[in-house]
């Protein structure tokens, strides 16, 4: 998991990640993106707007949303909030993927939803207390979360167009993995398209059609994501950080940064340092 998130449970031996949403201070936007992990966003205070494909889901206090593997989503958090995120690698369900290659989960009735939220909250409280053998309890709670997802929240079937989109996103993931390894270089659309044997027009089209984001916006958001890590954890000059992560200068970095976080990099850095 990227360190731009504030981690609650940083133990890499655990089969999941549990952390506070990085947009907790508000004025936050995350452009369309996707990943293989399954995510549960549990809003404890405030409100967050989610955009899954073309659908808008406002999630209020004491409510949650499930973001499935390879499901394109964008996030808008204009106001302060306190949101817990449980990130589950899709490989965790490997045995069950043999019978249904593309697992998908959806919210259910109030009682079932309350049960799931209660388990995730108990995982959070267990870590906060850190009593003797807390790791065993957290792992046990996580296994029950998985059990509930599979027995009470699993969709029986997915529409052919959804499956088709996920297949294309799997292919796009190979490209975005390359971009993550080379994002700090001069990474033009033409260069990446040529690397994977596509025309620039075709690559641009599949980004827009299946990921709901342009190639350029995805690259800029990626650069911001990695630049934030250096910005928060070092005292390097912002101009140097900008160039280190593929931006032409600090002005270009500030513009892309403000689009995502709603403030200047210098302002964000000051706030972040107060937390350490």
Residue 108: CB partners within 8 Å, gap ≥ 6?
A: 152, 153
Q: Which of 105, 125, 153 is the last residue of a domain?
A: 153
Q: Are residues 90 and 211 in the same domain?
A: no
pLDDT value of residue 65: 98
Same domain, 33 and 108: yes
32 and 141 housed in the same domain: yes
Tell me whether residue 98 is in a domain.
yes
Q: State CA 74 to chain mean position distance.
A: 9
The structure's pTM equals 0.78
- Looking at the fold, whether 268 and 214 belong to one and the same domain comes out as yes
Domain containing residue 247: CATH number:
1.10.10.60
Same domain for 43 and 125: yes
The whole-angstrom separation of Cα 238 and Cα 251 is: 10
The long-range contacts involving 215-218, CB below 8 angstroms and separated by at least 24 positions, are 215/189, 216/189, 217/31, 218/31, 218/32, 218/33, 218/176, 218/179
Q: Kindly state whether residues 80 and 182 are assigned to the same domain.
A: no
- For residue 206, is it within any domain? yes
Q: Is residue 35 part of a domain?
A: yes
Whether the pLDDT of residue 4 is over 90: the answer is: no
Span 35-40, average pLDDT: 91
Inside any domain, residue 1: no
* Domain hosting residue 19, numbered range: 6-153
Out of 153, 172, 188, a domain closes at 153
Q: Is the pLDDT assigned to residue 76 strictly greater than 60?
A: yes
Same domain, yes or no: 174 and 264: yes
Alpha-carbon distance of 105 to 152, in angstroms, equals 9
Same structural domain for residues 83 and 219?
Answer: no
Please tell me the number of Cα atoms within 13 Å of 40 on its side-chain side.
25
How many domains, the chain? Answer: 2
d(CA 37, CA 41): 13
Pair (117, 186) in one structural domain = no
- Average pLDDT over the chain reads 89
pLDDT given at position 2: 36
pLDDT digits (tens, 9 = 90+) for 224-263: 999 998 998 899 999 999 999 999 999 999 999 999 888 9
pLDDT at 7 over 50: no
Would you say 87 and 16 are in contact if contact means Cβ atoms under 8 Å apart?
Answer: yes
pLDDT of residue 10: 44
- Whether residue 199 is predicted with pLDDT greater than 90 in this model: the reply is yes
Task: Answer yes or no: is pLDDT of 276 > 70.
Answer: no
Q: Is residue 93 part of a domain?
A: yes
**CATH classification of the domain holding 110:** 2.60.120.10
- Domain match, 134 and 22 both: yes
Residues 54 and 190 in one domain: no
Q: Which two tokens stand for residue 20?
A: 């506070």
Shared domain check, 194 and 138? no
Ranking 34-48, 85-99, 129-143, 192-206 by mean pLDDT, the lowest is 85-99
Task: Tell me how many degrees the CA angle 215-216-220 measures, rounded to the nearest 5.
Answer: 120
- Nearest one of 56, 15, 16, 50 to 33, comparing CA atoms: 50
User: Domain boundary residue among 103, 128, 153?
Assistant: 153
């Amino acid at each position: 998991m990227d360190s731009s998130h504030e981690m609650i449970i940083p133990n890499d031996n655990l089969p999941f990640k549990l952390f506070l949403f990085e947009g907790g201070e508000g004025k936050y936007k995350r452009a369309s993106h996707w990943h293989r992990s399954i995510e549960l966003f549990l809003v404890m205070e405030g409100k967050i707007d989610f955009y899954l494909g073309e659908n808008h889901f406002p999630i209020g206090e004491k409510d949650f949303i499930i973001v499935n593997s390879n499901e394109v989503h964008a996030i808008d958090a204009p106001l302060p909030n306190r949101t817990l995120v449980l990130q589950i690698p899709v490989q965790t369900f490997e045995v069950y993927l043999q019978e249904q290659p593309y697992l998908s989960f959806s919210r259910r009735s109030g009682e079932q939803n309350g049960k799931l939220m209660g388990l995730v909250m108990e995982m959070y409280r267990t870590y906060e207390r850190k009593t003797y053998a807390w790791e065993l309890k957290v792992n046990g709670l996580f296994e029950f979360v998985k059990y509930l997802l599979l027995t009470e929240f699993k969709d029986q079937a997915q529409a052919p167009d959804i499956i088709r989109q996920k297949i294309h996103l799997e292919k796009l993931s190979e490209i975005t993995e390359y971009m993550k390894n080379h994002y700090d270089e001069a990474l033009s659309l033409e260069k990446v398209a040529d690397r994977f044997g596509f025309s620039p027009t075709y690559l641009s089209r599949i980004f827009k059609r299946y990921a709901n984001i342009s190639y350029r916006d995805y690259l800029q958001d990626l650069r911001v994501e990695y630049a934030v890590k250096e910005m928060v954890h070092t005292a390097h000059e912002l101009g140097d950080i900008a160039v280190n992560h593929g931006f032409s200068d600090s002005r270009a970095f500030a513009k892309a940064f403000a689009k995502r976080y709603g403030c200047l990099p210098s302002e964000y850095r000051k706030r972040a340092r107060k937390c350490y």
